[in-house]
Amino acid sequence: MADGGVEQVVVGSLDDSTDWSHALKDVAWVVHLAARVHVMDDREQDPLAAFRQVNVLGTLNLARQAAAAGVRRFVFVSSVKVNGEETAPGQAFVETDTPHPQDAYGLSKWEAEQGLWAISRHTGMEVVVVRPPLVYGPGVKANFAALVRAVQRGWPLPLGAVDNRRSLVALANLVDFLVLVCTHPKAAQETFLISDAQDVSIAALVREIGHIAQKTVKLLYIPTMIMVCLCTLMGKRQAIQRLCGNLQVDSSKAQHLLGWVPVVTLKQGLRSVLEDKNGL
């Protein structure tokens, strides 16, 4: 038993041959977060096949074994990328939108969702799908961590003219929501989009990080279209899209159906990133 009385079971790689029998013994709820995530410099000859092996076949293998073991509810952490990559200004994704995944990662998550609903229909095991946007918190990596480091080091950033809106979700809020949907009776057979409910522009996000870090923020005002054109020529269109594009989610369903509200604010979530002594 690990600290806190939590048993840790090592099962090996996640694919369609993983044996989950020991890990599923006497388990009532499964929260499945493990995945092959979007890889910026993917060296696989067939990236979609690699994503499917883990995110689709691995997920459905676990779900079938969970149902056979008597697990009552399977909570699947999917991705907002199932909905798409970008929203129109002033609009937000909702759970009833037609899925529109645009890369191999998003497609694999959508295929996993469909497979889980089929397993639920055949076995009676309850399923809950959660599609979070960018998750940040202690230990955050990749682009978010790079942005925080840039602010901490006082680097000038060409983001002053960007007036977009993006939804984020703090790790504390995601965990709180996942705990809730494990047992809430109204969560069964539902899909949820969740966020901090404080959509923010990238420029405002940088200023907030600087304020918490007590660093002078240096924002350069370069027209967004110029940055997009330059990054497209450099093969960095996806990167600039994540910085400058809109991606908002409407999390009101979680509030109205389950009574859920975020437990931390954007500022509190950012503070947890900056106070993490082991991160960044």
Domain of 1, CATH number, reads 3.40.50.720
Return the pLDDT at 77. Answer: 98
pLDDT at residue number 109: 98
Sequence-ordered list of residues with C-beta below 8 angstroms from that of 17, at least 6 positions apart, any chain = 61
109 neighbors 82 (Cβ within 8 angstroms): yes
In a domain, 247, yes or no: no
pTM score = 0.93
pLDDT score of 2: 46
- DSSP letter string, 43-76: --SSHHHHHIIIIIIIHHHHHHHHHHTT-SEEEE
Domain encompassing residue 40 = 1-131
pLDDT of residue 82: 98
pLDDT of residue 41: 61
78 in any annotated domain: yes
Flag residues of the chain having pLDDT under 70. Answer: 1-6, 38-42, 277-280
The total number of structural domains that make up the chain: 1
Residue 165 lies in a domain: no
201 domain-assigned: no
Three-state DSSP at 256 gives helix
Q: What is the pLDDT of residue 230?
A: 80
Query: Is 93 a member of any domain?
Result: yes
The DSSP result for 102-122, as a single string, is -SHHHHHHHHHHHHHHHHHHH
Q: Which long-range contacts (CB under 8 A, 24 or more apart) does 177-180 make?
A: 177/130, 177/254, 177/260, 178/31, 178/75, 178/77, 178/130, 180/258, 180/260
28 assigned to some structural domain: yes
pLDDT, position 279: 65
Residue 248 domain-assigned (yes or no): no
Please report the pLDDT score of residue 280 as a whole number.
Answer: 64
Which residues are part of the catalytic machinery?
Answer: 105
Classify residue 162: in a domain, yes or no. no
